[in-house]
A = this chain, B = another copy of it.
Amino acid sequence: MAPSTFTQIVLAERPTEYILPSTFEKKTVPYVSPNDNQAVVQVDYLSMEPAMRGWLNDQRSYVPPGAQSTCSWLIRSPTRFVRRAVQIGEVMRSAVLGRIVEAGKDSAFNVGDVVKGYLGWTEYVLLDDEIIKTKQVSKVDVPPKAELLDLLGVLGSSGMTAYFVRSGLYDVGKIKAGETLVVSGAAGAVGSVACQLGKIRGARVIGIAGSDDKCSWLKDELGVDAALNYKSATFHDDFRKHVGFFDVFFDNVGGEILDFALTRMNKDARILLSGAISDYNKSKPSGLRNYQLLIATRAKIQGFIVLDYVDQWPAAGAEMAAWLAEGKIKRKFTVVEGLDHATDALSMLYSGGNTGKTIVKVRTMKKGNL
């Protein structure tokens, strides 16, 4: 039965550093039933991604003239492909999973269909053609042996990032069996898959994470050769001992760990910069002081982003699903209950409270619900 109103979480003010309780605010809006061509999605799960912090920054200066896009928040140009910032008062953007709960007789959707898209932090969304196009909403199926949540995890953009790190590791990073791969944020949604792809390739893999529990998971479940806790007082010594010098560094963290890593590069080392979560909340990052060492080692730091490969997602998803079914890829979820706790769940990514993929379950209800 349709409610008369529902809740959304909108951006209230731009954070200058960390996300605060005042960054977002709740908004109650009227529920509108669909016309013949429309449908309504009830949102079940929100995907939390480190990159979301960047979406809160005002990046107007970054947008080139003549840019255009079919997606409301992606701006394409011949040479640039950037995100539009979430606007003040706008529903916080995120990938979600939901179900069609009402559908007009001419709608492309049927009640019960599972859909995925960038619908944001909201309980319901009225789907019209424009929204379907701009928010990239589509019906999805759960592959055999996968879970529904995998569609936001290893089969979602986090997993696709790691999947395309396969391209990164092989084509850009050119990692070879026996080489040393370091992964930071190794217990996170992206890093945990990157570790496993490294092992599949035959590399020696060292994961970096922020707790002993995460390190145990990396060693015992994911089979990395060593796992280092960066919060340990002996972290730098541990790195020297277990890594020595590395050939490839798949970095999700940036900041001080990346700067330290620059002192431990083998000649011709390759650093794949997938994220910089440690600096996303800083208005003045401390910066890479050891960059000069790139010269003596002829090493490189290269940026990497999953959006380049959007066209290849379906094929990549099929292969990832097969690996999941074969047990080659393991994953973990951290599920936070309640739309009200979305802000906390997002903040947790930056404080390191999560292991694996972080999901917000929008409704807090009894077991048995989707």
Contact = CB atoms under 8 A, between A and B. Distances in A.
Interface of A: 62, 79-82, 245, 254, 258-259, 266-268, 273-276, 279, 284-305, 308
B267 A295 contact: no
Copies in the complex: 2
B300 A289 contact: no
Contact of A296 (B285, B287, B305): B305
A303 B308 contact: no
A226 to B, nearest CB: 20
A248 B59 CA distance: 24
Nearest to A64: B245
Contacts of A291: 254, 258, 273, 276, 285, 287-288, 291, 301
A300 B302 contact: yes
A350 to B, nearest CB: 14
Contacts of A297: 80, 303
Contact of A304 (B82, B254, B276, B298): B298
A128 B274 CA distance: 54
A297 B292 CA distance: 21
B302 A299 contact: yes
A287 B259 contact: yes
Contacts of A308: 298
A286 B268 CA distance: 24
A290 B223 CA distance: 34
Contact of A285 (B80, B274, B289, B303): B289
Contact of A294 (B79, B82, B286, B301): B301
B300 A300 contact: yes
Contacts of A298: 302-305, 308
